[in-house]
Amino acid sequence: MMRALSAAAPPAWHADPYTDALRSGRGPLFLRRSDGWLLPLEVERWCAEPDLADRTVLRRCRGAVLDIGCGPGRLVAALAAEGVAALGVDVSPEAVRRTRALGGSALCRSVFDRLPGEGRWDTALLLDGNVGIGGDPAALFARAAQLVAHGGLLLVEAAPYEIDERILVRIADARGATGSDFPWARLGTNALLACASPLGWRPAGRWTAAGRPFVALRRG
């Protein structure tokens, strides 16, 4: 089901504890499910320089790059430093501020909002669990197909094990502070490919680096 293009950003990404973690560049920070299950979020890695696994993704980028859910902007800034046209989009104002402070370009918007260059991006990125945005991977892959040019690439990070899950979560820190509930999803590589294929994406490669699995999809 495709959602409206003017979707509002979940309050969780505007308020503490997520904003506090990005400001400090440190966790611990988690996605918390109602049953108490916790998924650690790698704030320190997101706020650092691109690591070796990130570099395997950056080397595969072609042309103009759209980073969907860019976070604090390490990938956008690295691409910009190499002279690559790159834009990050994120619903967190603090993430956008940090991206710009690093020298990257970023907009504070949902991927489901109107964006510059729709249908003309050569490469789009969905890393760091961002295939879960909105809790509806099919809607996200359909939206990405509107953004990427025919023949363009979508580089996606999968969960490090086979899973196909849609859940409600909230941001939580180690002190017990939490944000609002929002929908999220997690897909392993096989579930990711099965979801993307009917929406116009065909496999163009898969690899693992530092225990992180990645998939390259080509539109058309």
The SS3 call for residue 210 is coil
Asked if 90 and 70 touch (Cβ cutoff 8 Å), the reply is: yes
In angstroms, rounded to a whole number, what is the distance separating the alpha carbons of residues 91 and 77? 18
**CB neighbours of 34 closer than 8 A, spacing ≥ 6?**
168, 181
In angstroms, rounded to a whole number, what is the distance separating the alpha carbons of residues 218 and 200? 8
| Nearest Cα residue to 169 out of 35, 16, 28 | 35
pLDDT in single tens digits along all 220 residues of the chain: 333 334 445 555 555 799 999 999 999 999 999 899 999 999 999 999 999 999 999 999 999 999 999 999 999 999 999 999 999 999 999 999 999 999 999 999 999 999 999 999 999 999 999 999 999 999 999 999 999 999 999 999 999 999 999 999 999 999 989 999 999 999 999 999 999 999 999 999 999 999 999 999 999 8
Overall CATH class of domain 50-167+181-219: alpha beta
Asked if 215 and 192 touch (Cβ cutoff 8 Å), the reply is: yes
The structural domains of the chain, with segments of one domain joined by +, span 50-167+181-219
